[in-house]
Amino acid sequence: MNNQIPNSKLRTVNVMRYVMPLREGGSLPALADADDGFSYVLKFRGAGQREKALIAELLGGEIARLLGFKVPELVFANLDEAFGRVV
């Protein structure tokens, strides 16, 4: 499934390894390694405040960047559905 945003300037990476959950915040973030060799803090669509909170964070981050604040790079991350399955 391709969930990329059309005409987006944000990069998209593929999650290769789930490293560990982070115990801070209502969005239940996690640390993960991606196919570009970097580690990212992931925030999930189905956790916490759902998609609206993620959209607000994306908009806030980009507005802050436009105003000249130092903001970590925001990327979209593809996460295989198999990561959520328990055997």
Look at residue 80 in the predicted model and tell me its pLDDT.
83
48 alpha carbon, distance to own chain's centre: 14
pLDDT for residue 7 is more than 80? no
Q: Which residues contact 19 (CB under 8 A, 6 or more apart)?
A: 30, 31, 32, 33, 39
Look at residue 1 in the predicted model and tell me its pLDDT.
43
Q: Which amino acid is at 7?
A: N
Q: Name the DSSP class of 13.
A: E
Helix (H, G, I), strand (E, B) or coil at 41: strand
Q: pLDDT tens for residues 30-80?
A: 899 999 999 999 888 766 667 788 888 889 999 999 999 999 889 999 988
At 21, the pLDDT band (50, 70, 90 cuts) reads confident
* Structural contact between residues 59 and 52, judged by C-beta atoms closer than 8 angstroms: no
Tell me the C-alpha distance between 41 and 33, whole Å: 9
